[in-house]
């Protein structure tokens, strides 16, 4: 059945790419949204635009598309899942570092979605066909707790809550250096890095508002352990915020967490950091309102062994 597109760009969305804007509002993958744009299904202020076109406040995005045409088959694959909680409406998963959340360009191996379809075949068709059941994501190299919708209604309610930040998310991170105070807030704007579209940057006065609150839990000679909470949920938000402050997450392959290891004074720590297979970032707590009962629920995930091992090294070395 054909669905109409009739959207107006709000102030915080100014500067957003057209394909990203459509993906967010229509609950599509970026690639699906780009196909709609390039296929002539979408117009901006009455004219055709490219997927990378930057929208401005007040612009009207209109068109029509058929949702069923956007479906593709994703194979269910048996894979271990650390299920924290499950009921007929949601499942809460402790995702390991190294597992990609959903299939996409360049994705190899079994993703979380492939494993979810094997355990919960009913999620096929829930939400975006490219990422059934998914309402929020963790980066491939970030571990921790995330919620999955098992019904269309749960997906709608949870997606709306994440868009309005009606939830609680806390992370643990080991970062380089020391913060100037014990607690603080990073608030600015984020957008795609104009020099590298796979990266984000907060060194800009445009884009979408991004707010991260942090608290120092422990300090060592060259690193700190932080607890961070998200008021917004932008792509790579914590990693970008800390990196742009001069405190990249240890082991981060994209935002400076590995390169900085070359100048570490302690040879044992330097060697350990260079051997890290991922950034030392863990989603430790997720608080949501249950999409069916409305009950507030919190789910936690213990710090994984690789982070505990790194912290042990830091404590030994002082």
The predicted-structure confidence for 302-312, as pLDDT tens digits, reads as follows 999 999 999 99
Of 139, 244, 252, 262, the active-site residue reads: 139
Exposed e or buried b for every residue in 277-311, given b needs 16+ CB within 10 A? Answer: ebbbbbbbbbebebbeeeeeeebebebbebbeebb
Query: What pTM, to 2 d.p., does this model score?
Result: 0.79
Count of domains observed in the chain: 3
Is residue 300 domain-resident? no
In a domain, 299, yes or no: no
Query: What does the alpha-carbon distance between residue 134 and residue 145 come to, in Å, rounded to a whole number?
Result: 13
Query: Does residue 151 belong to any structural domain of this protein?
Result: yes
Q: Are residues 204 and 312 in the same domain?
A: yes
> Which residues face 188 on adjacent strands?
210
Is 289 among the domain residues?
no
- Mean pLDDT rounded to a whole number for the chain: 90
pLDDT, tens only, 23-56: 888 877 777 888 888 878 899 998 888 888 999 9
First to last CA, the chain: 64
The range of the structural domain enclosing residue 265 comes to 170-284+306-317
Residue 72's pLDDT band (boundaries 50, 70, 90)? Answer: low
Are residues 204 and 130 part of one domain? Answer: no
Do 229 and 262 fall within a single domain?
yes
Same domain, 219 and 311: yes
139 catalytic residue (yes or no): yes
pLDDT tens across 272-317, in order? 888 898 999 999 999 999 999 999 999 999 999 999 999 999 998 8
Last residue in a domain, options 42, 70, 98: 70
Asked whether residue 178 falls in the same domain as residue 310, the answer is yes
Give the CATH number of the domain where residue 223 resides.
3.30.2350.10
CA distance 273 to 279: 10
Choosing from 139, 162, 185, the residue where a domain stops is: 162
């Amino acid at each position: 059945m054909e669905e109409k597109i009739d959207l107006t760009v709000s102030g915080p969305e100014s500067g957003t790419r057209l394909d990203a804007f459509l993906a967010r509002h229509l609950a599509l993958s970026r690639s699906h949204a780009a196909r709609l744009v390039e296929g002539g299904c979408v117009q901006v202020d009455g004219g055709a635009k490219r997927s990378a076109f930057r929208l401005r406040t007040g612009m009207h995005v209109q068109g029509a598309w058929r949702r069923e045409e956007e479906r593709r088959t994703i194979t269910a694959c048996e894979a271990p899942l650390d299920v924290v909680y499950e009921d007929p409406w949601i499942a809460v998963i402790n995702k390991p570092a190294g597992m990609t959340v959903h299939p996409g360009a360049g994705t190899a191996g079994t993703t979380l979605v492939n494993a979810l379809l094997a355990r919960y075949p009913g999620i096929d068709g829930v939400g975006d066909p490219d990422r059934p059941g998914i309402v929020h994501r963790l980066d491939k190299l970030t571990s921790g707790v995330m919620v999955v919708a098992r019904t269309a209604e749960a997906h709608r309610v949870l997606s709306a809550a994440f868009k309005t930040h009606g939830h609680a998310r806390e992370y643990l991170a080991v970062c380089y250096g020391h913060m100037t105070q014990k607690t603080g807030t990073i608030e600015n704007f984020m957008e795609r890095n104009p020099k590298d579209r796979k990266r984000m940057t907060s060194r800009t006065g445009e884009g979408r508002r991004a707010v991260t609150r942090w608290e120092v839990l422990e300090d060592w000679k060259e690193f700190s352990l932080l607890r961070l909470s998200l008021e917004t949920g932008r792509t790579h938000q914590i990693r970008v915020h800390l990196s742009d402050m001069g405190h990249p997450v240890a082991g981060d392959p994209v935002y400076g967490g590995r390169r900085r290891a070359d100048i570490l004074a302690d040879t044992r720590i330097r060697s350990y950091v260079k051997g890290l297979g991922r950034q030392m970032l863990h989603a430790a707590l997720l608080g949501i309102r249950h999409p069916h009962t409305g009950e507030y629920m919190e789910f936690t995930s213990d710090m994984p062994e690789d982070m505990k091992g790194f912290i042990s090294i830091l404590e030994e070395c002082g």
